[in-house]
Amino acid sequence: MKSVLWRRGRIKDYRDTLLLRESAVSKHYASIRRRKCSNNLATPFKTRGVAQPATRMRVVMTMPPPCVAVRNIARRLGDDISEEKPILDSRLPDGSRVAAVIRPCSLQGVTLTIRKFNAKHFQIEDLIRIGTITQDVADVLKQAVIGRQNILISGGTGTGKTTLLNILANFIPEHERILVIEDTAEIQITTPNLVRFEARREQDGLPAVTIRDLLKASLRHRPDRILLGEIRGAEAFDLLQLLNTGHSGTISTVHANSAQQALSRFTSCVLQSNVELPYRAIKSNIADSLNLLIHVERRSGRRFLSELLRIEGYNPDDDHYAFEPIFMREQQL
Ligand SMILES: Nc1ncnc2c1ncn2[C@@H]1O[C@H](COP(=O)(O)OP(=O)(O)OP(=O)(O)O)[C@@H](O)[C@H]1O
Ligand SMILES: [Mg+2]
């Protein structure tokens, strides 16, 4: 039986909550949302005492003032949450993400969400076995990584983008020097030649160190490959520059609802850097730099690779990308 203990204003034993992927605790702990791979259920439980939902999770809670609890969590993480700064976005020592919003911005009281760091290491064989990916697609991807193609993985929240990036990174030959740049260290690769950079938000009077800063710095460290955890904003421009200047074998992820939408998202991220390049020139650059687009989805609780496209080019006259579909979930080509 796994448990989450919420006592005296702090969360204990969160490390034991192996079944808990994500939990959101709202005012008076009236509900806890769990997402356990396939399910996204709202499970009511008693505010004092023990509740035993249908699955193997047990929640034990008492009633400290939620604000105190969240403040204590923030303080322990070297962060701060208060009326002046009512949003917390931090990380527990094991990598789990903690997000909280308190009054006045959270109208119904404290909203706390913990995204449990998942220690499970998926391998490509696991993805094939559970039907996320076919053997043929796995072979194509392996060859693409070894052949230093530039790969962008897109998908919605929690669809398995980072997991797939991790798995693909394992195909990189051992002698290559891999440089991983992330907002939050999530990528887990074991290779002798690994360099890891992590961005820092402005904190405790220390200035922020952005993904852009780290991407620029990365070039001075002779990486054979750069893995960028996620493209979220202006760093897309620096990544594009890097790819344009001959860096290959890069893998990254982006939030998008389809493989094609991933390119629009990439383009808008490039525009956030205030670069003075026409829209179509950016798109053309993207088409020249990226080789493969992978889209992953989560439907009915199952995750699967739904599209694999090779980018063949971009025609600025009719504003269209040319793709070679290598795999489409509905129809296998
Ligand atoms: N193919 C899969 N089958 C089942 N579970 C998976 C699969 N891929 C990933 N997961 C699980 O789904 C959760 C989310 O995975 P992951 O962090 O890779 O998603 P993400 O798309 O990168 O999320 P985010 O949007 O937060 O960046 C993790 O708990 C992971 O173990
Ligand atoms: Mg991710």
For the chain, domains (ranges, CATH) are 2-115 (3.30.450.90), 124-328 (3.40.50.300)
Ligand 1 pocket check for 162: Cβ under 6 Å: yes
What is the predicted pLDDT for the residue at 89? 87
**Tokens read off for 82:** 């208060």
What is the predicted pLDDT for the residue at 227? 97
What is the predicted pLDDT for the residue at 1? 28
Residue 147: partners with Cβ closer than 8 Å, 6 or more residues away: none
Q: Please give the C-alpha separations between residue 13 and each of 1, 68, 92, in angstroms, as whole numbers.
A: 12, 18, 12
- What are the per-10-residue average pLDDT scores of the chain (333 residues)? 38 39 45 39 37 42 70 87 90 84 90 79 94 97 98 95 96 95 88 92 86 94 95 96 92 96 96 91 96 96 95 95 93 44
Q: Return the half-sphere exposure (C-beta side, CA atoms, 13 A cut-off) of residue 319.
A: 5
Q: Which atom of ligand 1 is nearest to the CA of 304?
A: 1
What is the predicted pLDDT for the residue at 192? 87
Ligand 1 centre to CA of 277 (Å) is: 35
What is the predicted pLDDT for the residue at 39? 38
What is the predicted pLDDT for the residue at 115? 79
Ligand 1 pocket check for 127: Cβ under 6 Å: yes
Residue 226: partners with Cβ closer than 8 Å, 6 or more residues away: 178, 179, 180, 181, 215, 218, 239, 242, 247, 250
What is the predicted pLDDT for the residue at 64? 61
What residue's CA is closest to ligand 1, atom 14? 158
Please tell me whether residue 293 adopts helix, strand or coil conformation.
strand
What is the predicted pLDDT for the residue at 24? 52
Residue 93 per-residue DSSP state: T
Ligand 2 centre to CA of 52 (Å) is: 30
Ligand 2 centre to CA of 270 (Å) is: 20
User: Which residues lie at CB < 5 A from ion ligand 2?
Assistant: 161-162
